[in-house]
Amino acid sequence: MGEKYTVGQYLVDRLYELGLRHLFSIAGDYSIEWVNSYVEKSGIQVIEEVNELNAGYAADGYGRVKGIAALCVTYSAGALCTTNAIAGSYVEKVPVVLINGAPSIKKTLTFEQTGYSSHHFISGRETDRQVFEYITAAAVRIDSPHLAPMLIDYALTQCITERRPVYIELLEDMVDLECTRPSNALRAAAVISDEDSLNQSLAQISERLQNATKPLIWIGVEIDRFGLHQQAERLIQDLKIPYVTEFLSKAILSEDDAQFAGVFDGKSSSPYVQSLVKDADFVLALGVWLTDINDLGWPIDLDKTAFASWDTLKYGTSFNAQVSLADLVNGLIDRRLTCKAQTLPAKTAAQAPVMNPADELTYQGFYDFIQHQIDGNTIVGADASLNYFGSMLLDVSARRGFIVQSSYSAIGYIGPAATGVSLAKQDKQRLMVFSGDGGFQMTAQCLATQTRFNLNPIIFVMDNGIYGVEQWLADASVFHGNKPFYKSCILHRWNYSKLAEVFGCRGWKVHTYGELEEAINGAKENLNSPSIIQVLVPQRSIPDNANWKES
C-alpha cells in the first residue's frame, strides 16, 4: 500500500508543476490547514501578505512575469477583498489562481437548513463562487474528493489557456481526503483557427503589406500574454519595417531594437511616433487592445488598420472570426513576405541632462533625470497616475521590462505588484516603480511584506498632494492656469519617507536634483529591503506629453 494521497496534495502538486514557486496568503481558519500542512512542506514558499487586496495585486505582478500565480484567502471576509485585484487580472489576461478556503459541508448544510451561521457566511454555498464567476475563466467548488482532480485540472487548464484568473473554492474538510494522483501533465488547450478565415486573413494582410508604401506594425499585449515574442521578432526582422507598441505592451520586446520606433499612445506619443502613425498607409496591429488609455486624443483610422486580436481579424468593413494570433503570425512568417524599403531613423544615445543640483524638481525634469538610471537589468513599473505619461517615453531595453495595468487602471496597484515582480524576476534585475501619492496611500502596507522578505524594489512616490490624473481626466485646464483643484482631488499629505521607520526599510525625501541623485545612489546600495523615495513636485507640474489636453 502506498502513502495516502490527498486533495490538498493534488492541488499543491499541480501548481508546482505549472511553475509556481511562491503563494501569497493571508491566514484564515478555513484555509490554514491546507497552507500549513501542504504548501509549507512543498517547494512553494508561502508569502504571508498583510491584506487580501495587496496579496491580489502581488499575485498579478508575479503572474505577469512568471506565467502563473496563486493566492490563498479565507471565505467571504477574505475572498471578497480580492475582487478588485482579480478583476484587473481578468481584464488584462493575467493567469492568477485564487484559492478560497471555505467552510465544511456540515457547516454549510447547518446554515442552509437551520439558519445557524458560521463566521463569514453570507447566504450559503453560492455567494463567493457566484461573485467570482463574473471575473474568472473558471469557478469551481471542491466539495467531493472524487471530483476534485477533475475540477482542479479543469480550472488550472482554463487559467493557462485563457491567461485569466480562476477561482477554486477548497472546503476545509476536503483537504485531507484521499483522491487519485495526477496522471498526464497539464497543457494549455490549443486555439483552433477556422481554415477559411485564417487563409482569407493571411491573403488580405499579405497583399496590403506588399503593396503599402509605408507599412507599420503595432505590437500589442497579446503577443506577450500568449508567449509570441520570438515569432513577433522574426516577423518584424523579415519585413524590415518599423514597429510601435501600445502602452500596455511597452517593452515586451527590447526597445533597443533598431526597428522599434516608440510607444504609440495617441497625442501622448513622441512627435516622431505620431508622424509615423499618421503617414502610414497600412498598420498591422498584432494583439492590440483598443482602450481610451491606448489612443489618447487620437481617432484611430480603422480603414488602414488591421486588428488581429481576440481571435479575430478586423480590417475596415471585413471581419474574419476564429483566427488564432499564433497561427496568423506563423502564417505570415511562412509566406516570406517582402515590403517596400523604408529608411529607419538612426537611433542616437540620449545625453544625460545637465541639472543644477540645487534646482527644484519638476515632473518632467524627474523623468529626464531618471532615464539615465535605467539599464539593461532594470524593470520599470508605473501606477495609474501622471506617471503613465512620464514612464511612457522612457527607453527600457530589458525585454518584458515594463509593468503597467493601464487597461483596468486601478490606482494603488504598482506598490504591491512590485512584491510579486520582485519574487518572479531574475536575480540580476532591479525593479524601479513610480507611484502617485494618492495611489500609494491605498496600498502602502506593501512595504511591510517587501521588508519581511528582504525584497528591494525602489519605489518613487510622486508627492504633489493631489489625485493628479483624476484632475487631469476631469479638467486638465487646472494645470495651465490658476483655477483651483477639485476638492475631491486634494489629498491629506503624508510624510512618505518616514514610513521607512514604521516598516523597517529605508526612505528619502527629495525636492532637488542633487537630493534625488543622492537618494537613488543610496537606494541602489540598499539590497535587503525596499527603498521609498518621496519626490516633492509642484502641484501644477505635469509631464510634457500630458500638456496636449487643455480642458
* pLDDT for res 516: 98
Relative to beta strand 506-510, strand 215-219 is unpaired
**Each residue of 178-193: pLDDT tens digit?**
999 999 999 999 999 9
Give CA–CA dist 497/535, Å, rounded. Answer: 9
Q: Is the dihedral of CA 538, 544, 546, 550 positive or negative?
A: positive
Query: Would you say residue 421 lies in a domain?
Result: yes
With 0-12 CB in 10 A as exposed, 13-18 as middle and 19+ as buried, what is 405?
buried
Give CA–CA dist 196/321, Å, rounded. Answer: 10
Q: Which residues are annotated as a binding site for Mg(2+)?
A: 437, 464
Query: Would you say residue 190 lies in a domain?
Result: no
Q: Are residues 301 and 381 in the same domain?
A: no
Q: Are residues 391 and 320 in the same domain?
A: no
Which residue reads 487631469 in cell numbers?
A: 472
Contacts of 227 (CB under 8 A, 6+ apart): 67
Helices 325-334 and 195-211: crossing angle, nearest 10°?
50
Q: Are residues 201 and 129 in the same domain?
A: no
Query: Would you say residue 386 lies in a domain?
Result: yes
Give CA–CA dist 437/445, Å, rounded. Answer: 14
Structural domain count, the chain: 3
H/E segment holding residue 524: helix 513-525
Query: Would you say residue 183 lies in a domain?
Result: no
Give CA–CA dist 326/370, Å, rounded. Answer: 36
**Amino acid sitting at position 522:** G
Q: Are residues 136 and 32 in the same domain?
A: yes
* pLDDT for res 1: 42
Query: Would you say residue 188 lies in a domain?
Result: no
Q: Are residues 385 and 474 in the same domain?
A: yes
Per the DSSP assignment, residues forming a β-bridge with 405 are none
Its pTM stands at: 0.96
Q: Are residues 277 and 382 in the same domain?
A: no
* pLDDT for res 105: 85
End-to-end CA distance of the chain: 75
Domain ends where: 171, 204, 224? 171
Q: Which residues are annotated as a binding site?
A: 437, 464
* Alpha-carbon distances, residue 532 vs 378, 441, 539 (angstroms): 17, 13, 20
Q: Are residues 394 and 283 in the same domain?
A: no
- Where residue 87 sits, what CATH number does that domain have? 3.40.50.970
With 0-12 CB in 10 A as exposed, 13-18 as middle and 19+ as buried, what is 488?
exposed
Asked if 400 and 65 count as a contact pair (C-beta separation under 8 A), the reply is yes
Domain ends where: 156, 171, 186? 171
Nearest to 344 by CA among 265, 272, 268, 245: 272
Q: Are residues 150 and 35 in the same domain?
A: yes
Q: Are residues 308 and 369 in the same domain?
A: no
pLDDT digits (tens), the chain, 551 positions: 468 999 999 999 999 999 999 999 999 998 999 999 999 999 999 999 999 999 999 999 999 999 999 999 999 899 999 999 999 999 999 999 999 999 988 888 887 888 878 877 777 778 999 999 999 999 999 999 999 999 999 999 999 999 999 999 999 999 999 999 999 999 999 999 999 999 999 999 999 999 999 999 999 999 999 999 999 999 999 999 999 999 999 999 999 999 999 999 999 999 999 999 999 999 999 999 998 887 888 999 999 999 999 999 999 999 999 999 999 999 999 999 999 888 776 766 667 788 899 999 999 999 999 999 999 999 999 999 999 999 999 999 999 999 999 999 999 999 999 999 999 999 999 999 999 999 999 999 999 999 999 999 999 999 999 999 999 999 999 999 999 999 999 999 999 999 999 999 999 999 999 999 999 999 999 999 999 999 999 999 999 999 999 88
Q: Are residues 159 and 87 in the same domain?
A: yes
Q: Are residues 450 and 508 in the same domain?
A: yes
Give CA–CA dist 244/250, Å, rounded. Answer: 9
DSSP secondary-structure letter at 380?
Answer: E
**Each residue of 216-257: pLDDT tens digit?**
999 999 999 999 999 999 999 999 999 999 999 999 999 999
Q: Are residues 58 and 154 in the same domain?
A: yes
Query: Would you say residue 358 lies in a domain?
Result: no
Query: Would you say residue 121 lies in a domain?
Result: yes
DSSP secondary-structure letter at 466?
Answer: B
Structural domain that includes position 428: 363-546
Share of the chain above pLDDT 70, in %: 99
H/E segment holding residue 419: helix 414-424
